[in-house]
Amino acid sequence: MTSPPRVLFIGLDAADPNTLARGCDEGWLPVLKGLRQRGAWAPAKVPRGFGDGAIWPSLFTGVNPGRHGRYFYHQLKLGTYEGAHFSQDTDFGVKSVWENLSNAGRRVAVIDLVKAPLVKDINGIQLNDWLVHSRERPTRSSPSHLASEIIGQYGTDPFDGTTDIYMQRSAEEFKAFRDGMIDRVNKKTALCEDFLRKDSWDLFMMAFGEYHDISHQCWHFHEPNHALYDAQWVERYGNPVKDVYIALDSALGRLLECAGPQTTTMVFAGPGMSPNYTGNFLFDPLLRRIDGRPDKDRNLIPHAIVSRLRPAVLKRLGERINLAKHMYRMSRRRCFAVLHNENAGAVRINVAGREPAGRVKPGADYEAVCQSITRDLLDVKNADTGKSVIKEVVRVSEECHGDRLAALPDLLAVWSRDAPIRAVTSPKIGVVTANRVIGARTGDHNPDCVFFAQGPGVPRTGRLDSVAVEDIAPTIALLLDTALPDCDGKPISFCNATSH
């Protein structure tokens, strides 16, 4: 005979807290409204300047990015000027909450947690990269046979792991996209209901990625102030973002009913969404101007030619020539951009002893360069509006700590997203423009997140001031009579340990 899970965690990946609040107030998200009324909820504080690539790992590890080490799917390789893919299964600096609980003898189920590392030989089950936003690898599981069984029963992702198509959708294609998202919601809900009913769990964790996908692709149908808002389309076909939110609210209700009142339920939603106004496409040219470098640095031999060189020895020679030119260029720069979520441009200082051809000495020289770049960035205006284009510049070493800190950017320049960014200007840099590839995304993340809890051990306190995202993992562990080793967070005060 099965018993309800002691703790149910539901992740609403990229669900926008402002939209959730509006849906509760206007009555079209009744389940979430009830959850908010029956327990406690609070805005969730996240590491400043970082995107979802760092926020979710901080949630499930209980530590800051300087310790878990992830800020984006493609990160700078230490000791080089080259990037490398961050492997979610192998590259984290600390263990997830479910791995720690599994090792402590707790029985856990983990379904499509965002950015999650797969734990082999888990005490329970784990499914990764099935119905998610931006699949990292083919669907996989622990035990290994589980993935094929689930695909055989419930099917594969109809979007094959990504919804980022770089073309304009027709009205019918947008409708089909919305319907596909709702179908995914129903599939995952049915799977989770099945596992909740047929087995007993100490911890059941799952996440929905459909908020993420629909908001990236369809935010211009949801927000009337969006530069691309099409009132006629919305009047004729409806709001696809709202439709998916309503479907997910119903799914939330099904899972809460399946778990029952004896379960302590936690829901985390975020990071939120705003119009996708970003200047990342021109950020490195902007830094070149600040640094007094030429606008363009070209390879001696174009990459298209190098890739076609034969025999292989000539190709390797061409690659070495271009690498030598790249190293020379980098040795002349004080700073450069590294890839990051579009909410903020990421700055790497070319530090002597850390970078291969470092130019900035650690200590006073480094401090002066950081301060100078920060001032110059805050002076930059949106060329179209004349308003500041950068909301704040975050010194990462003041926000984060740990043995992975050296792998992170030095500065994060958070974009002001009140208007499209086509060109930027300041007295120092003049006007900077750059070619931009216009993709399918009309919505992108803001830092807004929210956390809800209800059930045994959670008093009906309503809204609280805030919780830190790093507090969620140790709170889950406490509710299961376990302590996580050396967390940055601490258990949330309104959640008290309880047992069935």
Specify the amino acid at residue 324. A
For the chain, the straight-line distance linking the first and the last C-alpha, in angstroms and rounded, comes to: 15
What is the average per-residue pLDDT within 143-161?
96
Q: What is the pLDDT of residue 10?
A: 98
Measured CA to CA in angstroms, residue 410 lies from 222, 357, 396 at distances of 35, 17, 5
- Confirm whether 316 is domain-assigned: no
Which domain CATH number covers 102? 3.40.720.10
Instruction: Look at residue 205 in the predicted model and tell me its pLDDT.
Output: 98
Q: Determine how β-strand 450-454 pairs with β-strand 264-270.
A: antiparallel
Task: Say if residue 45 is in the same domain as residue 133.
Answer: yes
In the predicted model, is pLDDT for residue 381 greater than 50? yes
Q: Band the pLDDT of 498: cuts 50, 70, 90.
A: very low
User: Do 212 and 71 belong together in one domain?
Assistant: yes
Neighbours of 496 (CB within 10 A): 15
In a domain, 322, yes or no: no
**What are the two backbone dihedrals, phi and then psi, of residue 489, each rounded to the nearest 5 degrees?**
-90, 175
| 40-45/467-468 β-pairing | parallel
E-assigned strands of 376-487? 381-382, 390-395, 411-415, 423-426, 430-433, 443-445, 450-454, 462-463, 467-468
Residue 339 lies in a domain: yes
Q: Flag whether pLDDT at 267 surpasses 50.
A: yes
Looking at residue 500, what is its pLDDT? 35
Closest CA to 110 of 94, 129, 127, 88: 127
Which of these ranges, 153-157, 411-415, 432-436, 492-496, has the smallest mean pLDDT?
Answer: 492-496
* Residues 219, 86 share a domain: yes
CA 273 vs CA 156, 303, 325, 362: distances in Å? 27, 37, 40, 37
**Statement to judge: residues 264 and 382 lie in one domain:** no
In a domain, 224, yes or no: yes
Q: Is the domain of 254 the same as that of 352?
A: no
Opening angle at CA 397, ends 393 and 401, nearest 5: 140
Could you tell me if 102 and 223 lie in one domain?
yes
112 and 16 within one domain: yes
Q: Looking at the 3D structure of the chain, how many domains does it have?
A: 2
- Overall residue count recorded for the chain in this entry: 500
Enumerate the H helices of 332-480 as residue ranges.
Answer: 364-378, 396-399, 472-479
Q: Which residues of 229-238 are buried (b: 16+ CB within 10 A; e: fewer)?
A: beeeebeebe
Poorest-pLDDT segment among 148-162, 249-263, 289-303, 353-367: 289-303
Residues 199 and 242 in one domain: yes
| Structure confidence by residue, pLDDT tens digits, 103-122 | 999 999 999 999 999 999 99
Question: CB–CB of 163/217 below 8 Å?
Answer: yes
- Residue 499 has what pLDDT? 37
Examine residue 493 and state whether it is found in any structural domain, yes or no: no
Query: Does residue 289 share a domain with residue 269?
Result: no
Cα angle 363, 368, 369 (rounded to 5 degrees) comes to 100
Q: Is residue 222 included in any domain, yes or no?
A: yes
My answer on whether 285 and 381 are in the same domain is yes
Of 452, 500, 498, whose CA–CA distance to 472 is shortest? 452
Domain check: are 12 and 110 in the same one?
yes
CA 169 – CA 165 distance, rounded (Å): 9
pTM of structure: 0.92
Query: For 279-334, what is each residue's pLDDT tens digit?
Result: 999 999 999 999 987 656 655 555 555 456 566 655 565 555 555 555 667 778 99
483 is written with which tokens? 């302590």
Average pLDDT over all residues of the chain: 91
* Per-residue pLDDT tens over the stretch 230-260: 899 899 999 999 999 999 999 999 999 999 9
Determine the structural domain holding residue 57 and report its residue range. 7-276+443-479
Is position 114 within any domain?
Answer: yes
Q: What is the pLDDT of residue 2?
A: 83
The reply to whether 495 falls in a domain is: no
Q: In terms of domains, do 166 and 20 share one?
A: yes
The string of pLDDT tens digits covering residues 426-440 is 999 999 998 876 678
477-497 pLDDT per residue, tens = 999 999 998 999 999 987 654
**What is the model's pLDDT at position 378?**
98
